[in-house]
A and B are shown apart, each in its own frame.
Chain A
Amino acid sequence: MIVAELKEFDEIREMIDRYSSVLVVGCDSCVAECAAGGTRETQLLASALKLSYLKDGRRKVITEACIDRQCVDDFIDVIAEQVPDHEAILSLGCGAGVQALARVYQDKPVIPALNTLFIGETVLRGVWTENCLGCGQCKLGYFGAVCPVTRCSKKLMNGPCGGSIGGRCEIDPETPCGWDLIIRRLTAIGEIDRLAEYVPPVNWSTSHSGGPRRVIREDQKP
């Protein structure tokens, strides 16, 4: 899932201050799972904004809505009737959601309420961790299903650096050393021999280094 978190409230307010009416739009997919932009969080942010303007004695129309998936046109249509009544849209979608709304509603400013962070998993309620950078050529099969590109702070492909102590990364004792995880995992599944091989430089052209990416599937087109 895409993991995001709410921006600082003051930053959000500063961005929407200039509009007299704002449609606050959540997304009930990834960002709902990470408790950043689902229905609940959308209602919370909308309430907080209303309260904040009430406190300042300013009139402002704040309406909330939620879309099942902000990144898919068919779902975006759900708010089509509400959009014209508002000067701007405040999106609690990920970066893709914000840009999709802006593409569909071309005459409306769309403001992000979240900082989009990473592709990750929910390891326990309230804890989300990053484990995929979307490099475009998955090598997890060689590394015991632990990603060196994502889980190692230096993207090392040929084993741990000299800063790993007690299974912890040198940059932060709260961060597990990705290579410690890889070695444990390969040992557990009896494939540690894989690590003696030299891993050549990564082809980053399939990652974002190759420019914005797209996937086209003729069989899926309408």
Chain B
Amino acid sequence: MKTESLLEKTFEKGTFAVTAECGPPKGSDADILIRKGKSLLGWVDAVNVTDNQTAIVRMSSLAACSILKSLGHEPILQMVTRDRNRIALQSDLFGAYALGIRNVLCLTGDHQSFGNQKEAVGVFDLDSVQLLRTVKDMRDSSVIIGGESIQGNPKFFIGAAENPFADPVDWRVVRLGKKSLAGADFIQTQCIYNMERFRKFMSQARDTGLTDKLYIMAGVTPMKSVGMGRYMATKVAGMDIPDELINRMAKVPKDKQADEGIKIAVETIEQVREIEGVAGVHIMAIEWEDKVPEILKAAGIGARPV
């Protein structure tokens, strides 16, 4: 064990791990977050707290992590390099660890032009790979960027994201390797709808030995409606939703589409579980966190901790 992370412990035990995304509210109402957090309690090994996802201003990930931790969750601090420079990022890493947060997911973040602050400066002082290395160097070498030593090194369990569906396709596994080399311990993938392409990605990851170095968690997002599916397929960057799935949703009457979306998510979990090298699932039920227990139950994954 490199860290005190409960997520790492779950992986080490060889348990199929479950994480879920919990988006902080757009405002200071902690009750919204607490309600979401409670609905996930006892069903996940760790909870991802998004960092102003899609560049929309929300409660800070760090504050929300701390609140969720007080509820008994094991939070994963998502950190994007879009909004903060290396001074702010490193400072927040220190603070997060001091507050008892043991997991961090290093991301570049969606471009600010997607969000509700389109006129903002995009910082991008570091990229996600450089942030991974920064967190690793803090943990393993007790230094910050530039090599100065620190008092009390944060021992984070380090995560990264990877999109098996983005282009150029052959580059995705190279980038996965780069993230592993830079410091990633675990990976959470983009939402999987194109199973064929995901299988190919995993086989490339196995061939390059990356499944031995990284815990790869398969990303799953239930579709609430055919409209959401179409929106994601056409408007969300890096999404790959095959027409068959959209058509399958479209064939179902409107009031049954949510159920169908959940059914697809359950099938996806069952399928990825069978793929060698997949160490867990990461469920991103966007503004639908309360459905996570139902999905997990249906997929035959029981309550936590195991």
Complex contact flag A–B (Cβ < 8 Å): yes
Known: A180-B168, A196-B177, A201-B86. A164 touches B238 (CB 8 A): yes
Task: Tell me the complex Cα distance, A202–B146, Å.
Answer: 11
Task: Tell me the complex Cα distance, A154–B112, Å.
Answer: 10
Interface residue? A68 (CB, 8 A): no
Task: Tell me the complex Cα distance, A199–B124, Å.
Answer: 14
Chain A 173-201, CB-CB to B under 8 Å as 1, else 0, gives 00001001001000000000001101111
Interface residue? B133 (CB, 8 A): yes
Q: Which of B86, B181, B237 has the most CB of A within 10 A?
A: B237
Please list the residues of chain B having a beta carbon within 8 angstroms of any beta carbon in chain A.
82, 86, 108-111, 113-114, 122, 124-130, 133-134, 145, 161-163, 166-168, 171, 174-175, 177-178, 181-182, 190, 237-238
- A164 x B181 contact (CB < 8 A): no
Q: Which of A158, A160, A172 has the most CB of B within 10 A?
A: A158
Question: Least Cβ distance of B250 to chain A in Å?
Answer: 23
Question: Least Cβ distance of B160 to chain A in Å?
Answer: 11
Question: Least Cβ distance of A35 to chain B in Å?
Answer: 27
Contact of B111 among A153, A167, A196, A204 (CB under 8 A): A153
- B130 x A201 contact (CB < 8 A): yes
- B127 x A156 contact (CB < 8 A): yes
| A180 neighbours in B (Cβ, 8 Å) | 167-168
Task: Tell me the complex Cα distance, A11–B15, Å.
Answer: 65
Please list the residues of chain A having a beta carbon within 8 angstroms of any beta carbon in chain B.
153-167, 170-172, 177, 180, 183, 195-196, 198-202, 204
Q: Can you list 24 A-B pairs with a CB-CB distance of less than 8 A?
A: A153-B111, A154-B109, A155-B122, A156-B108, A156-B124, A158-B129, A158-B175, A158-B178, A159-B129, A160-B171, A161-B108, A161-B128, A161-B166, A162-B190, A163-B111, A163-B163, A163-B166, A164-B166, A172-B113, A180-B167, A198-B129, A198-B181, A201-B86, A201-B134
A-B complex: 4 closest residue pairs judged by Cβ atoms:
A162-B163, A163-B237, A170-B237, A158-B129
- A170 x B111 contact (CB < 8 A): yes
Task: Tell me the complex Cα distance, A171–B54, Å.
Answer: 12
Q: A159-B175, A167-B168, A172-B113 are in contact. List 18 more A-B contacts (CB 8 A).
A: A154-B108, A154-B109, A155-B122, A155-B127, A157-B127, A157-B129, A158-B175, A159-B171, A162-B190, A162-B238, A163-B110, A166-B167, A170-B237, A171-B113, A196-B178, A198-B133, A199-B130, A201-B86
Contact of B130 among A158, A160, A166, A204 (CB under 8 A): A158
Q: Which of B122, B124, B162, B167 has the most CB of A within 10 A?
A: B167
| A183 neighbours in B (Cβ, 8 Å) | 168, 171
Contact of A163 among B124, B134, B178, B238 (CB under 8 A): B238
Question: Least Cβ distance of A52 to chain B in Å?
Answer: 30
Task: Tell me the complex Cα distance, A171–B145, Å.
Answer: 30
Question: Least Cβ distance of A169 to chain B in Å?
Answer: 8
Task: Tell me the complex Cα distance, A162–B145, Å.
Answer: 25
Task: Tell me the complex Cα distance, A164–B190, Å.
Answer: 13
- A200 x B130 contact (CB < 8 A): yes
Closest to B164 in A: A162
Task: Tell me the complex Cα distance, A167–B166, Å.
Answer: 10
| B86 neighbours in A (Cβ, 8 Å) | 201
- A165 x B238 contact (CB < 8 A): yes
| B161 neighbours in A (Cβ, 8 Å) | 162
Closest to B190 in A: A162
| A200 neighbours in B (Cβ, 8 Å) | 130, 133
| A199 neighbours in B (Cβ, 8 Å) | 129-130
| A164 neighbours in B (Cβ, 8 Å) | 166-168, 238
- A201 x B111 contact (CB < 8 A): no
Closest to A184 in B: B168
Question: Least Cβ distance of B257 to chain A in Å?
Answer: 26
Task: Tell me the complex Cα distance, A160–B122, Å.
Answer: 17
| A166 neighbours in B (Cβ, 8 Å) | 167
- B174 x A196 contact (CB < 8 A): yes
Task: Tell me the complex Cα distance, A56–B298, Å.
Answer: 75
- A154 x B175 contact (CB < 8 A): no
Known: A154-B124, A154-B127, A201-B86. A159 touches B108 (CB 8 A): no
| A153 neighbours in B (Cβ, 8 Å) | 111, 122
- B178 x A154 contact (CB < 8 A): no
Closest to B113 in A: A171
Q: Which of B108, B114, B177 has the most CB of A within 10 A?
A: B108
| A171 neighbours in B (Cβ, 8 Å) | 111, 113-114
| B162 neighbours in A (Cβ, 8 Å) | 162
| A172 neighbours in B (Cβ, 8 Å) | 113
Known: A164-B167, A165-B167, A171-B111. A158 touches B177 (CB 8 A): no
| B124 neighbours in A (Cβ, 8 Å) | 154-156
